[in-house]
Amino acid sequence: MINVTQPSIGAEELAAITAVFDSKWLGSGPRTEEFEGLFARHLGVPAENVLFLNSATSALFLAVELLGIGPGDDVVMPSNGFVANASAVVAAGGRPVFCDIDEHHLNPSVADVLAALTPRTRAVMVLHYGGYPGDVDKIAALCAERGIALIEDAAVSIASSVRGQMCGTFGDLGIWSLDSRKVITTGDGGVLYARDPAVAQRARRLSYHGLDDRSSFTTATKSQHVWWSFQIEDIGRRLVGNDITAAIGTVQLGKLAGFVERRRAIGQRYDKALGGFSGIRLPPPLPEGHRSTHYFYCVRFDSQAIRDGVSEDLLANGIYTSYRYYPLHRVRRYGATDTVLPVTDAVSDTSLLLPAHQSLLDDEVDMIAQQVLAAVEARL
């Protein structure tokens, strides 16, 4: 089976894990701190503002908590996002308010966000669909002007940027995912960035039971007596990453540029093979100054029937496809099933994600493209 997503891991990652085992310290420790520093350097932000956590979902829930979102608060977000986006808000007692998206880059425009703002809006949450930055710079300016917090779900946008500024750093809080299906992986893991150093410091406490230090080793170096004593200001949970996963992440981060370049080449190969066929709509070119991780290769068809038929034909030939993300305004639990989002609905009913991970061979990309063309032609 050819997968939509797939990690690229091997001997170097195993060697890094072995080194952690040999150190006899597996929890959050020196390798976690090293990885946070490297990730911060990649983003171009201070290391103390970056936290390595056990998942991006934990980071999203923590971000909502850090902003104090609760009953009576609205958070505007696109409906074509991951379930954790809305669940983090609902779990805190807030209300997700879903906005529509641009039909080309599949991210909300400023106009889409403006149309969804309410008098109770406390925050806007955007994601960069498939790695496309979208209008994040303009939305950040809008939020700053209105005094509204901005959370960036940059889960799949670890290498995406706008005019040199990394996605995830435009808002008050940014989140990246490092789970097993992302461009680089730590197995499970996520990163949280807080622009305000005080917020980052509080996030660090909340991510480890409200304690200032993640290990008694650190505390012991600060005090000669009863270093095991503590006081807490915040009631926290255990959300931290560990040195095993951080060691994997350090190796993977060193491979990121090569992974992204390969994904870009795969997208270009699909463009060449599928371009010019009237029944298939390809991803748009990136605007000047925008860079992408090329996480998704999303194609659109003339109807839902064609899309569904193509996916079934490809699956029968050992090619797994999917569509992300199922529209959240259709999920009854979020209480927004009467929301009208025409672009989101049209896109979700006619789009398909083709395999686009960096391990794909050129021959596999060509074969997938041929299968797509044949499946569409059979239904015209």
Nearest residue to 118 via CA among 325, 336, 328:
336
Q: What are the backbone angles phi and psi of residue 120, rounded to the nearest 5°?
A: -100, 10
User: For 154, which DSSP code?
Assistant: -
Q: Specify the residue for token string 């699909």.
A: 270
Q: Which residues face 354 on adjacent strands?
A: 297
- Give the residue numbers annotated as catalytic, written as ranges: 182
Query: Which burial class, exposed, middle or buried, applies to 332 when counting CB atoms under 10 A from its CB (0-12, 13-18, 19+)?
Result: exposed
- Residue 352 to residues 19, 39, 297, 307, 323: CA-CA distances in angstroms? 41, 31, 8, 7, 5
Residues ≥6 apart with Cβ < 8 Å to 103: 343, 346, 347
Strands 173-177 and 190-194: antiparallel
Q: CA 274, CA 281: separation in Å to the nearest integer?
A: 9
- CA 59 from chain center: how many Å? 11
The residue type of 183 is V
Which residue blocks in the chain are alpha helix, DSSP H? Answer: 11-23, 30-43, 56-66, 83-91, 110-116, 136-146, 197-206, 216-220, 243-274, 304-316, 342-350, 362-377
Q: CA 210, CA 250: separation in Å to the nearest integer?
A: 27
Query: Which burial class, exposed, middle or buried, applies to 71 when counting CB atoms under 10 A from its CB (0-12, 13-18, 19+)?
Result: exposed
Q: CA 374, CA 64: separation in Å to the nearest integer?
A: 46
